[in-house]
Amino acid sequence: MENIYLTIVLAPLLGAIVAGFWGAKIGRAGAHWVTSSGVGIACALSLWVLSRFIWHDLPAFNDTIYIWMVADGIQFEIGFLVDRLTVLMMATVTFVSLMVHIYTIGYMADDEHNWPHGSLAGKNSYQRFFSYISLFTFSMLMLVMSNNFIQLFFGWEAVGLVSYLLIGFWATRESAVFANLKAFLVNRVGDFGFILGIAAIGMYFNSMDYAEVFAKAPEFANTEIAVFGGVSLMTLICILLFIGAMGKSAQVPLHVWLPDSMEGPTPISALIHAATMVTAGIFMVARMSPLYELSTTALSFVLLIGAITAFFMGLIGLVQNDIKRVVAYSTLSQLGYMVAALGASAYAAGIFHLMTHAFFKALLFLAAGSVIIAMHHDQDIRNMGGLRRYMPITWITALVGSLALIAFPGFSGFFSKDAIIEAVGHADVFGAGFAWLLLTIGAFITALYSFRMYFLVFHGKPRMDEHTQHHLHETPWVVTVPLLALAIPSIFIGWYAVEPLLVNNWFGNAIVVAHEHDTLHHLANHWHGQVAFIQHGMHGLPFWLAMSGLILATIIWWGWHKVNPAIDGQLQQKAGPLARVLDNKYGFDDFNQRVFAAGGRRIGQVFWNTGDQKIIDDTIVNGSARAVSWTAEWMRWLQSGLLYHYAIAMIVGLVGLLTVYVAF
């Protein structure tokens, strides 16, 4: 198996290297063929491995590939742990990645136009883009397949690097290079916590290996560590690691980078900033479930952060007019749902939602991208309308994605999201009730913003200018085929996966849940098949809230909008201060800009001007030089070489000494 796993990881890397370094030689077709084949191989093999796990009960693989180093008795290694949790991630990541590769062929076809005339960076940008997304796939696979903390961190930072490169892909645009720096730095704040968490594990477990750490973890369940006046070690480790997840998975208050990351080309918004990389934090916490189960405090923290993100970020989605930003805020909100599931110890539900979300959110992003292509890169939904007549495939697939997103019964998102809300309802860690409330109301908001966008884009009268309208048409097959391919799992994957994942404990010992935290067993105990689950869901509050959101959205942005096309703006004006708060995104960006960015620069300025230049250089260093030269001047003045000067000095000195001698 080792060779198969190595192939899965290395095939995308090889594609990335070839397309990156020899992009000019192999040309555009060469680049997309070599990278897509690499990812295609990885995807095919991953699906094959998945099938082995499903139907042949393949045992988990855990082995070292090579030893990175042995230092001070700790072995650091590169190795793979492929169990049922991993293989699900591998299949999801490689499948979405493959779809995005194919889609990119269409999306980036005329990328020269995005670069200033004559820019050499734009010359082989098409090939470079493929190289990056393949490199991303490699990094993400390294992350999910790792069997130790160091490789996890490697993958973690490597996906961050590729994200940085891709957000700033159009490197001549100021907004893009601002966004990628911001993304990297905010992620680094998360990683700051993450590496301290890893260091804490290193200190107490003296190992970086998952299996060893997890096995020893219960011994430390009651260990206290003498920081912050004494806290439980497990709580500290889990919260530090989770800070890393908050960066990568964009949880409040480290979420600020994700909306800005939309500056990157749409395919990577789908792949990296919706389907895969941002879910790394969710995967990580699920992987660390043996640790998180030992700290209710940490679980409670995770739950609250997730619920707050899910609710408040969803609200912002209501006032966004950029098609990608609506989807981006929706992603933030959905990530919040997944995180909340983790906090409720419903790791399986979190991963389940991760998977369904990967499909339907990638679908929504790619559909948005398809719209953007048709609209000649205008992303403002106020300028769209009526697109369903011009691009039927995009329309239908976007509708599928939206229905899945709002958890319409039967669609994939329904199963996963309903399970999360139900699990949180059963949780009894601190804050669970509050979290449940936020998530439940969130269902209403999700439906509202999703269908606001859907109606504004695809229904009503076309509002674009004539030229654009004249050229509107469905996008080429390389774009629509991935849409269709993603629409299928967006509908069906929930139906098929819910029973094994949530009821039959498919993950086995890949995920550990303490008996008293087991919030999913209610669901398992009352399981009577998918139909019954749907019926049960349709009696629940979340369903009714989602439906009212859908209906309200239909009334406003379909019915009312026909009568009064300016209704969207008017409603926002009516909402007044609330809309302004949402429009300012609760002021996080302003605060960060003023306090951290400007504050950091000011501190640096003060340290440099006052500390280094004035105190150290001027006063001490050059000051001592001046002191030496003054003394020398003075000595020179004393030694004038004139006899009578010396004679006077002697006489004055003699008189002085005698006076002192006589007087005292």
Partner 1 sequence: MIEFPWLTLTIWLPIIGGLAVIVSGDKTAELTKWLALAVALLTFVVSLPLWFLFDVTSADMQFVERVAWIPSFDVYYYLGVDGISMPLILLTTFITIFVIIAGWEVITYKPSQYMAAFLIMEGVMVGVFAALDAILFYVFWEAMLIPMFIIIGIWGGPNRVYATIKFFLYTFFGSVFMLIALIYMYFQSGSFSILDYHTLQLGMTAQVLIFIAFLLAFAVKVPMFPVHTWLPDAHVEAPTGGSVILAAIMLKIGGYGFLRFSLPITPDASATLDWLIIALSLIAIIYIGFVALVQQDMKKLIAYSSIAHMGFVTLGFFIIFAIFNQPAVHSGAVMGIEGGMVQMISHGFISGALFLCVGVLYDRLHSRQIADYGGVINVMPWFSGLVVFFAMANAGLPGTSGFVGELMVILAAFKADFWFAFLAATTLVLAAAFTLWMVKRVIFGEITNEKVAHLQDLNKREFINLGALAAAVLVLGIWPSPLVTVMEPSIIKLVNQVQVSKLPNAPTPTISQTINHIQP
C-alpha to C-alpha distances, 600 to 183, 254, 604, nearest whole angstrom:
17, 17, 6
Nearer to partner 1, 158 or 307 (CB): 158
**593 forms part of the interface with partner 1 (CB under 8 A):** no
Q: Residue 326, Cα to own-chain centre: how many angstroms?
A: 16
Rounded Cα distance between 420 and 580, Å, is 31
**171 forms part of the interface with partner 1 (CB under 8 A):** yes
Q: How far is the CB of 178 from partner 1 (least distance, A)?
A: 8
Number of residues this chain uses to bind partner 1 (CB under 8 A): 63
Site for partner 1 in 259-288 (CB under 8 A): none
**168 forms part of the interface with partner 1 (CB under 8 A):** yes
- In the block, residue with structure tokens 């399986």: 348
**621 forms part of the interface with partner 1 (CB under 8 A):** yes
**219 forms part of the interface with partner 1 (CB under 8 A):** no
- Scored b (16 or more CB within 10 A) or e, 47-82 reads eebbeebeeeebebbbeebeebeeeeeebbbbbbbb
Q: How far is the CB of 20 from partner 1 (least distance, A)?
A: 9
Q: Residue 648, Cα to own-chain centre: how many angstroms?
A: 85
Rounded Cα distance between 240 and 238, Å, is 5
Look at the alpha carbons of 112, 115, 117, 118 in this order and tell me if their dihedral is positive or negative: negative
**623 forms part of the interface with partner 1 (CB under 8 A):** no
Nearer to partner 1, 129 or 454 (CB): 129
**206 forms part of the interface with partner 1 (CB under 8 A):** yes
Q: How far is the CB of 207 from partner 1 (least distance, A)?
A: 9
Q: How far is the CB of 624 from partner 1 (least distance, A)?
A: 9
Nearer to partner 1, 616 or 648 (CB): 616
In terms of Cβ atoms closer than 10 Å to its own Cβ (0-12, 13-18, 19+), residue 467 is exposed
Nearer to partner 1, 613 or 639 (CB): 613
**603 forms part of the interface with partner 1 (CB under 8 A):** yes
Whether 263 contacts 179, CB under 8 Å = yes
Nearer to partner 1, 608 or 646 (CB): 608
Member of 16, 82, 144, 150 binding partner 1 (CB under 8 A): 150
Nearer to partner 1, 158 or 404 (CB): 158
Concatenated DSSP letters of 101-167: HHHHHHHTTTGGGGS-TT-GGGTTHHHHHHHHHHHHHHHHHHHHHBSBHHHHHHHHHHHHHHHHHHH
Q: How far is the CB of 261 from partner 1 (least distance, A)?
A: 15
Angle at 408 between CA 326 and CA 583, to 5 degrees: 20
Site for partner 1 in 51-80 (CB under 8 A): 66-75
Member of 504, 605, 619, 639 binding partner 1 (CB under 8 A): 605
**211 forms part of the interface with partner 1 (CB under 8 A):** no
3-state secondary structure 187-233: HHHHHHHHHHHHHHHHHHHCCCEHHHHHHHHHHHCCCEECCCCCEEH
Binding site for partner 1 (CB under 8 A): 66-75, 115-116, 118-123, 150, 153-154, 156-158, 161, 164-165, 168, 171-172, 174, 177-178, 181, 184-185, 188-189, 191-192, 195-196, 198-200, 202-203, 206, 225, 227, 600-601, 603-605, 607-608, 611-612, 616-617, 620-621
